[in-house]
Amino acid sequence: MTHGPLQVLIPVCGRQVPISPPIILAAALLLAPLATLAHVEGGATGGFLSGFGHPISGLDHVLAMVAVGLWGAQLGAPAIWLLPVAFPIMMALGGLLGLSGVELPAVELGIALSAVILGALILGAIRLPLAAALLVVGFFAIFHGHAHGTEMTPGQSAILYSIGFVIATGLLHAAGIGIGLIQHWQIGRWDAGRVALRGAGAVVLAGGVFFLWSALA
């Protein structure tokens, strides 16, 4: 069956096609069994990455986190930094409640409502008093922590999962604040930035309505 010193003839559609050994070896290597990657990363790296990825992987969570930053940017100092300071602590309190076995009613509804309410507040450019703003953000943060802070894969480092989870949440707030800075943009005398920021609120509101619909369906 050989055709020349370095070729093998393979029958293809009734014709003998010469195939060189490197091609045969390459094809064989493509069939080499690879390590199965069906398990999550374990240990320290897995714990941190799992915690870090968790807030980012859920769009409902992402919307609310970014919305907190957007609203803080819209309200200005001191809300711009007080809201992102209060949110992680209240979110962790929600996680603590969840891990302690304390049940919260309608957690998914609470998460969806957080995007609806925050989106509406940004869209309407509503300036609540600071204490009320903190109350709104803190209240909804408990639902997010209860739902998402308690979903660590068994066997991973709890402290590194927690660190990753909190850092990712904080970075989402920072992203919201960064986006919120568009409010300072002007086109001539037109406050285009403020309109754009309210438009971002409308996007958050629309996303929240979608998740609310999904939670109720």
Partner 1 sequence: MMRAAAWLLPLTLLAGVPIPAQAHLVNSGLGPFYNGALHLLLSPVDLLAVVVMSLLAGQSGKVGGRWAAIVLPLVWGGAAIAGLTLGTAIEAGWPGVALLVLLGVLVALGLRLPVWVMTWLSALTGLVLGLENGGALAAGESSFVAVAGIVATVLVLTLLTAALAVSLRADWTRIALRVAGSWIAAVGMLMLGWLFQGAS
Closer by beta carbon to partner 1, 46 or else 119: 46
According to CB under 8 A, which one of 26, 59, 126, 181 is a site residue for partner 1? 26
> 146: closest CA among 102, 84, 83, 208?
102
Q: For 97-100, which contacts have Cβ atoms below 8 Å and span 24 or more sequence positions?
A: 97/142, 97/145, 97/146, 98/145, 98/146, 98/147, 98/149, 98/150, 99/149, 99/150
**Site size for partner 1 (CB under 8 A):** 41
Residues 130 and 211: beta-carbon distance below 8 Å: no
Stretch that binds partner 1, among 10-18, 93-101, 190-198, 203-211 (CB under 8 A): 93-101
Q: Is 89 in the site for partner 1 (CB under 8 A)?
A: yes
Identify the CA nearest to 115 among candidates 216, 217, 213, 206. Answer: 206
Q: Which of 10, 49, 93, 202 binds partner 1 (CB under 8 A)?
A: 93
Q: Give me the residues that bind partner 1 (CB under 8 A), please.
A: 6, 20, 22-23, 25-26, 29-30, 32, 34-35, 81, 84-86, 88-89, 91-93, 95-100, 145, 149-150, 152, 157-163, 165-167, 170
